[in-house]
Amino acid sequence: MRFHNQSQHRTHHCYYLRVWQEWLEHIDTKDTANDVIIVAGDISHKWEIIRATLSFFKEHYARVFYVPGNHELWGGADEDSMRRLDQLLQLCAELQVETSPAEVATTSRRVLVVPLLSWHHPQWDTEPDIEGWSGLLPVDQMLSDYPLTHWPRGISIRAII
């Protein structure tokens, strides 16, 4: 049994989709049937791509662990990101993709896999600002996460000034 880790798929972009398709075509189920893969987020914001990617991994690996990334929580102005997370976890349950901590027994030891849900927040950035770079926009104007995620009332990822 081997452990594999994949992240940053971003298969909603044509270039990345081609790269991943070429890589996936070379996976032989005989080689990975007893293996574990940890998919560490950023598959896509498109449901059909998320479903297809997770389904592919389920067909090729003994166990699939997954933790959503920021891309999976992106949505339109009327889409609540927490609702998207709930729907995503339901999809994982349907596909039998593991999203909770679990033990994996190998021939020589037991390994605990712990998918960790987390999110960045500007207040956690305690590093000094970069000097000498003029014209940098504030982080909430540069990162797509701010305009593309929509949180329920009472939850905010904006900096508190």
Q: Tens place of pLDDT for every residue, the chain, 161 residues?
A: 888 787 776 666 555 666 666 766 777 667 777 889 999 888 888 898 899 889 988 988 999 999 998 888 888 778 889 999 999 999 999 999 999 999 998 888 889 999 988 877 767 778 887 788 778 777 777 777 778 888 888 777 665 44
Domain that holds residue 77: 3-116
Q: How many domains does the chain have?
A: 1
The answer to whether residue 94 sits within a structural domain is: yes
Q: Could you tell me if residue 34 is inside a domain?
A: yes
For Cα atoms 157, 160, 161, give the angle at the middle one, nearest 5 degrees. 150
Q: Is residue 142 part of a domain?
A: no
- State the CATH number of the domain containing residue 85: 3.60.21.10
Q: Is residue 129 part of a domain?
A: no
In whole angstroms, what is the distance from residue 144 CA to residue 70 CA?
A: 9
Is 126 a domain residue?
A: no
Please report, in angstroms and rounded to a whole number, the separation of the first and last CA atoms in the chain: 50
Rounded CA-CA distance 125/144 in Å is 17
pTM of the model: 0.81
Task: Tell whether 156 is covered by a domain.
Answer: no
